[in-house]
């Protein structure tokens, strides 16, 4: 890891002001863009509605996944943030840092509850027990430390032979898997520090460890360019995934455990079927290093965090980047910005992914021209997911109301449309009315 220099906040504000004054566009709302340094870690809340990211800009950011907008910035570390994690229930979070500390956060107030102090070098990784009562942190001081979540008190220090890069609890036990600067993955009893076993197969250092939700399998990423699947019952190697040509830094299990993700230095995001060694999909996600990956709670989307300072969202079935084209500036009319129709403010979310004109900027969703009365899934040339292939209904007041009332994931399972509900029936009726007005012939002019 390289050392990071923190840019004073006053300078960041000044630069932002100059950029605005001379017309440099702000980061696209299509990505989770807002950090001022590489994004090192990412996690999804238990309910799937929020995202937490950690960056070398010394901060973690809490995001609304539906709108991809910033909720709060967690800024108390004195060094780059190396890992982030929601605690069970999603009301608290954990961050670790190069500043040799970890912090437990209250996500209602966005303030620290406890600072975990004791490591003598960078804290690179952390894990939370299934019951939320214990935290394990791993650092380059060659230790794993166990903490009490409620008090923030240090319970135990476990020495390791090498600096630690990754740590994870095994299911609902106090067993830990620990990976670091050598190829061996160590299995340790977190209650007493006793060695329980080892997993051998990698040829170089371990960069990431992820345990499946049932606690029976482990994914490990390594500098040796491989992702590996392990059986935690007998510590045997199940499968080696080889497609990357450069070091692998990121790994994740899907919510159902049937597939996994990997990414690394080459910028590729690879989805794997856990029952075979060939990839399901490969996406060139970033031109820079990908440090972390995660699945959305429903498994439809992947999130990738990169050295390019952004997190991007991908629909796995089609490989499409969600909202990517919203970053493109165009001269298309934007009548919703000046309209006094009560449905106009709600349409702003739609505008990020849909052009009003068939000849407009190509965005991640199909254009809306002639929407009412159009058969679903019928825009020529658009890359629809299987959820819209062969459906037999038209978009009208009733079907559009149902789409946002129940949610796209319920009406069209598998769709690449993000979960966007409008629970207020009055506001939803206003949105549908505005959509009808806006998408009629000459409605966008």
pTM of the model: 0.78
d(CA 110, CA 71): 10
Over its length of 445 residues, how does the chain's per-residue pLDDT go in tens digits? 443 334 444 333 333 333 333 333 333 345 888 899 999 999 999 999 999 999 999 999 999 998 788 999 999 999 999 999 999 999 999 999 999 999 999 999 999 999 999 999 999 999 999 999 999 999 999 999 999 999 999 999 999 999 999 999 998 889 999 999 999 999 999 999 999 999 999 999 999 999 999 999 999 999 999 999 999 999 999 999 999 999 999 999 999 999 999 999 999 999 999 999 899 999 999 999 999 999 999 999 999 999 999 999 999 988 888 864 444 445 677 888 888 898 888 887 787 778 888 877 767 678 888 888 888 888 887 878 777 777 888 888 888 888 888 888 788 887 767 667 788 888 888 888 888 888 887 655 5
Instruction: Give the long-range contacts of residues 74-80, CB within 8 A, separation 24 or more.
Output: 74/103, 74/105, 74/110, 76/103, 76/112, 76/115, 77/101, 77/103, 79/4, 79/122, 80/4, 80/37, 80/40, 80/55, 80/56
CB 60, CB 53: distance < 8 Å: yes
pLDDT of residue 92: 98
d(CA 188, CA 191): 9
d(CA 157, CA 48): 33
Q: CATH number of the domain at 331-439, out of 1.20.1560.10, 3.30.1330.20, 3.20.20.150, 1.10.760.10?
A: 1.10.760.10
pLDDT of residue 30: 54
CB 97, CB 80: distance < 8 Å: yes
Residue 150's contacts (CB-CB under 8 Å, 6 or more residues apart) are: 133
Domain 27-325, what architecture? 7 Propeller (2.130)
pLDDT of residue 435: 87
Token pair for residue 380? 């020529």
pLDDT of residue 401: 85
d(CA 70, CA 61): 7
pLDDT of residue 364: 67
Domain residues of the chain, as ranges?
27-325, 331-439
């Amino acid at each position: 890891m390289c050392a990071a220099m923190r840019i004073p906040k006053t300078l960041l504000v000044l630069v932002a002001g100059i950029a605005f004054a001379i017309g440099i566009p702000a980061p696209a709302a299509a990505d989770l863009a807002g950090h001022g340094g590489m994004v090192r870690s990412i996690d999804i809340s238990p309910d799937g509605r929020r995202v937490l990211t950690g960056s070398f800009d010394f901060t973690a950011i809490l995001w609304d996944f539906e709108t991809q907008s910033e909720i709060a910035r967690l800024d108390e570390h004195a060094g780059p943030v190396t890992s982030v994690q929601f605690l069970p229930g999603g009301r608290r979070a954990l961050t670790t840092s190069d500043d040799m500390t970890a912090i437990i956060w209250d996500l209602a107030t966005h303030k620290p509850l406890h600072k975990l102090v004791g490591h003598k070098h960078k804290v690179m990784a952390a894990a939370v027990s299934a019951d939320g009562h214990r935290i394990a942190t791993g650092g380059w001081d060659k230790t794993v430390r166990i903490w009490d979540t409620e008090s923030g008190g240090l319970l135990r220090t476990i020495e390791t032979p090498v600096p630690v890069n990754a740590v994870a609890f095994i299911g609902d036990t106090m067993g830990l898997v620990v990976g670091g600067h050598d190829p061996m993955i160590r299995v340790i009893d977190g209650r007493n520090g006793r060695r329980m076993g080892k997993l051998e197969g990698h040829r170089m250092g371990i960069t990431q460890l992820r345990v499946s939700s049932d606690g029976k399998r482990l994914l490990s990423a390594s500098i040796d360019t491989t992702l590996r699947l392990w059986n935690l019952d007998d510590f045997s190697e199940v499968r080696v995934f080889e497609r990357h040509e450069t070091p692998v830094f990121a790994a994740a299990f899907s919510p159902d455990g049937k597939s996994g993700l990997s990414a690394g230095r080459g910028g590729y995001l690879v989805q794997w079927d856990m029952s075979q060694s060939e990839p399901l999909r490969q996406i060139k996600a970033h031109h820079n290093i990908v440090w972390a990956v995660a699945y959305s709670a429903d498994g439809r989307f992947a999130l990738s965090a990169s050295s390019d300072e952004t997190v991007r969202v991908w629909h796995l079935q089609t490989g499409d980047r969600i909202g990517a084209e919203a970053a493109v500036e165009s001269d298309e009319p934007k009548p919703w910005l000046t309209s006094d129709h009560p449905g106009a403010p709600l349409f702003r979310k739609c505008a990020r992914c849909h052009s009003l004109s068939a000849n407009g900027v190509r965005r991640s969703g199909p254009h809306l021209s002639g929407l009412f009365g159009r058969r679903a899934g019928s825009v020529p040339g658009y890359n629809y997911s299987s959820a819209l292939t062969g459906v037999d209904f038209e978009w009208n007041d009733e079907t559009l109301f149902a789409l946002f009332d129940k949610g796209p994931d319920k009406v069209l399972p598998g769709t690449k449309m993000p979960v966007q509900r409008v629970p207020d029936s009055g506001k939803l009726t206003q949105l549908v009315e505005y959509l009808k007005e806006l998408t009629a012939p000459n409605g966008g002019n």
